[in-house]
Amino acid sequence: MDGGAQIAIIALMILAVFMFMAAMATALLCRFWVAHKKPISHWTTVVGAAVIPLLLAGVTTCIWPAIWVSHDGNGSPEGFIRLLLLLGALCAFPAFGVVARYKKRVEVGEKSVG
């Protein structure tokens, strides 16, 4: 296996971890809404999907704050922002699935939603 294939596999594994984390964050939000007898809206999907890119941006800013500025005209934060937007869009898929599942379970009236 060449180096390019290995990098692609590692990138897909990291993406899968981020998507799993988005699903878990959305599930926690849904459990919170169900426990407080509030309706689950599709804004839960947006918030659940946005948690991971915002967390990544915060951690990256702490570790490498120069990502947000252009030094001597070399590069810009545009690539990093595009990466965060793409990650948020990809995290929306599992978040939407979790919200749909919890909405269906609430409509059916299951006692143990969680």
Domain parsing of the chain, residue ranges: 3-108
Distance CA 75, CA 80 (A): 10
Mean pLDDT for 1-11 is: 86
Cβ distance 40 to 26 under 8 Å?
A: no
Tell me the CB-side half-sphere exposure of residue 113, using CA atoms within 13 A.
26
Q: What is the pTM of this model?
A: 0.82
pLDDT of residue 111: 59
pLDDT surpasses 80 at 74: no
Which among 29, 40, 25, 6 is positioned nearest to 94, based on CA atoms?
25
In the three-class reduction of DSSP (H, G, I as helix; E, B as strand; rest coil), residue 27 is classed as helix
Cβ distance 11 to 90 under 8 Å?
A: no
Q: What is the pLDDT of residues 94-105, one digit of tens each?
A: 999 999 999 998
